[in-house]
């Protein structure tokens, strides 16, 4: 099995989960209503826990331990897509990002539950069950607010238009795309995107929101190879502040 | 004469290990103990699987299992947590479901491995058994619980959510 290809895949997924998990946790105490405060906090806990398990697989493949990998790298060593690192903004932006990303995530882990790399397939079977709740949660709110008031529709539409080029960056192909596909590790980013577009479109079709014309958009690529927005490094600095004070501390 | 150590004996010992967040539910009944092996030279291997990937109680449960084995004089053991078998809420035993209800938590509805929004919304009130309930949010105080409201007895309640 091509270890380099496998590691690249694991890193980008673990980084996506870690960074979006952290962004979600920033809603703790600030949600627009108590239930949403708890929902984003719960999803944060799920995603950070999932990232930890992905880092653990990497650790078994010879990489450093999960905490070191999570807290001691700089922005250019992260492989998350740029979508997940963007600031939370207002609730409408966080909701749109949650919908676009988690729809992709659910399909990704459904695909990976068939992976030829067994530890990943086993973990993916678990993660897809949890992510189903995230995806359902996003859909419920998109359907409600996407056809509620003029303000909610306008705000969501603006956020959708802003987020979509970044969402397309989720599917930035890996340099190991062919190896991953031929070895049956993962069916590939374009196969994922092909399922994601109709999944997103069908939810939006039940609202007053308009799906942007993807042909006219330039996807925001670069995240997978370490090119990030100005927002990632400050996030990492904050995330690792406690760990860096004493990396050997145990409690 | 020394009685031979068996799987069943170990399983029985583990009955005293409870879910740290739901102290009426044993790990056996929760379904997180996926296998117990006792080799001829009495080495004990316990396999466990997490309910939720990010469940913070897993480390505690793993330690509790180790403590019970040591307390029973077992020094040669291994407690392995893995996703080889994935936990789902159908793995909670009948006894466990009754314990959950007595604790005031609605047991998860059984499912055929497909969990959709209809299944989560269908919660039976653990206080008055009414089915006239509504889900408030699928995310509760812990990852494994959703929050509901009973229109009959007008009490909020939690459900161990189906997964």
Question: What interface predicted TM-score (ipTM) does this complex get?
Answer: 0.88
d(CA B19, CA B28): 10
CB nearest to B53's CB, from A35, A42, A127: A127
Name which residue leads in pLDDT, A232 or B1.
A232
Q: Answer yes or no: do B59 and B121 share one domain.
A: no
Q: Which two tokens stand for residue B104?
A: 């005031």
pLDDT at position B118 over 60: yes
Decide if B31 is inside a domain: yes
Q: Answer yes or no: do B119 and B56 share one domain.
A: no
Domain of B77, in residue numbers: 7-81
d(CA A227, CA A180): 22
CATH class given for the domain over A3-245: mainly alpha
Decide if B94 is inside a domain: no
Min Cα distance A108 → chain B (Å) is 17
Which residues 6+ apart lie within 8 Å of B83 measured at CB? A53, A119, A122, A123, A125, A126, B49, B50
pLDDT per residue over A103-156, tens digit each? 999 999 999 999 999 999 999 999 999 999 999 999 999 999 999 999 999 999
Counted domains in chain B: 2
Last residue of a domain, which of B81, B114, B141?
B81
pLDDT per residue over A75-112, tens digit each? 999 999 999 999 999 999 999 999 999 999 999 999 99
Q: Which CATH number covers residue B18?
A: 3.30.300.130
The answer to whether the Cβ–Cβ distance between A136 and B137 falls below 8 Å is: no
Q: Considering chain B, what is the average pLDDT of its residues?
A: 92
Decide if B144 is inside a domain: yes
Q: What is the predicted pLDDT for the residue at A249?
A: 84
Min Cα distance B53 → chain A (Å) is 6
Q: Answer yes or no: do B13 and B75 share one domain.
A: yes
Q: Answer yes or no: do B71 and B132 share one domain.
A: no
CA neighbor of A244 nearest in space, from A87, A85, A74: A74
Task: Using alpha carbons only, give the angle B12, B17, B19 rounded to the nearest 5 degrees.
Answer: 135
Last residue of a domain, which of B81, B116, B143?
B81
Q: Answer yes or no: do B64 and B121 share one domain.
A: no
Min Cα distance B163 → chain A (Å) is 6
* Structural Rg of chain B based on CA atoms: 18
For chain B, percent of residues with pLDDT exceeding 70: 99
Q: What is the predicted pLDDT for the residue at A165?
A: 98
The answer to whether the Cβ–Cβ distance between B53 and A46 falls below 8 Å is: yes
Min Cα distance A35 → chain B (Å) is 6
| Domain residue limits, chain A | 3-245
Whether A197 and A219 have beta carbons less than 8 Å apart is answered as: no
Q: What is the predicted pLDDT for the residue at B114?
A: 77
Q: What is the predicted pLDDT for the residue at B55?
A: 87
Decide if B54 is inside a domain: yes
CA neighbor of B161 nearest in space, from B55, B33, B60: B55
d(CA A203, CA B52): 27
The owner of tokens 């913070």 is B56
CA neighbor of A132 nearest in space, from B159, B92, B118: B118
CB contacts < 8 A (A, B): 70
Decide if B93 is inside a domain: no
Decide if B45 is inside a domain: yes
Q: Answer yes or no: do B134 and B73 share one domain.
A: no
pLDDT per residue over A224-235, tens digit each? 999 999 999 999
Decide if B133 is inside a domain: yes
Question: Chain A interface, mutation test: which of B49, B57, B139, most A Cβ atoms within 10 Å?
Answer: B139
Other beta carbons within 10 Å of B97: 19
Q: Answer yes or no: do B24 and B75 share one domain.
A: yes
d(CA B137, CA B135): 6
Q: Is A158 on the interface with B (CB under 8 A)?
A: no
CA neighbor of A72 nearest in space, from A231, A248, A247, A225: A247
Decide if B95 is inside a domain: no
List % helix, strand, coil for chain A (3-state, nearest 5): 70, 0, 30
Residue in B with minimal Cα distance to A56: B82
Q: Which residues of B touch A53 (CB under 8 A)?
A: 53, 83
Q: What is the predicted pLDDT for the residue at B2?
A: 59
Q: What is the predicted pLDDT for the residue at B115?
A: 79
CA neighbor of B160 nearest in space, from B112, B74, B89: B89
Query: What is the mean predicted confidence (pLDDT) over B122-149?
Result: 91
Q: Which two tokens stand for residue A239?
A: 């995330």
Q: Which residues pair with B19 in a beta bridge?
A: B22
């Amino acid at each position: 099995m091509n270890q380099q290809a496998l590691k690249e895949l694991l890193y980008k997924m673990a980084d996506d989960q870690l960074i979006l998990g952290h962004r979600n946790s920033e809603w703790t105490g600030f949600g627009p209503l108590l239930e949403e405060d708890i929902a984003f906090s719960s999803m944060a806990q799920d995603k950070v826990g999932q990232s930890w398990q992905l880092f653990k697989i990497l650790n078994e493949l010879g990489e450093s331990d999960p905490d070191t990998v999570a807290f001691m790298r700089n922005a250019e060593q992260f492989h998350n897509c740029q979508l997940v690192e963007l600031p939370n903004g207002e609730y409408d932006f966080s909701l749109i990002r949650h919908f676009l990303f988690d729809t992709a995530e659910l399909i990704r882990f459904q695909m990976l539950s068939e992976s030829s790399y067994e530890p990943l397939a086993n973990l993916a079977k678990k993660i897809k069950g949890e992510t189903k709740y995230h995806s359902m949660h996003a859909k419920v709110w998109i359907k409600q607010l996407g056809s509620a008031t003029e303000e909610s529709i306008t705000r969501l539409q603006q956020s959708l238009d802003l987020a979509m080029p970044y969402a397309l960056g989720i599917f930035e192909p890996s340099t190991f795309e062919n190896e991953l596909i031929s070895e049956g590790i993962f069916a590939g980013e374009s196969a994922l995107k092909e399922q994601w577009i109709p999944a997103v479109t069908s939810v939006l079709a039940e609202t007053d929101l308009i799906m942007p014309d993807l042909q006219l958009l330039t996807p925001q690529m670069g995240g997978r190879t370490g090119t990030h927005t100005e927002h990632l490094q400050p996030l990492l600095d904050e995330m690792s502040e406690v760990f860096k004070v004493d990396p050997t501390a145990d409690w | 004469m020394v009685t031979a150590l068996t799987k069943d004996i170990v399983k029985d010992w583990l009955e005293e290990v409870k879910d740290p967040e739901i102290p009426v539910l044993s790990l056996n009944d929760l379904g997180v103990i996926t296998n117990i092996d006792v080799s001829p030279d009495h080495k004990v291997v316990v396999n466990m699987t997490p309910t939720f990937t990010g469940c913070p109680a897993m480390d505690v449960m793993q330690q509790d299992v180790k403590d019970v084995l040591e307390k029973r004089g077992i020094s040669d053991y291994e407690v392995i947590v893995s996703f080889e078998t994935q936990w789902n809420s159908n793995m909670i035993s009948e006894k466990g479901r009754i314990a959950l209800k007595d604790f005031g938590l609605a047991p998860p509805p059984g499912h055929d491995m497909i969990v959709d929004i209809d299944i989560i919304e269908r919660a039976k009130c653990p206080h008055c058994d009414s089915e006239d309930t509504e889900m408030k949010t699928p995310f509760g105080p812990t990852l494994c619980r959703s929050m509901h409201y009973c229109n009959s007895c007008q009490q909020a309640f939690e459900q161990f959510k189906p997964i």
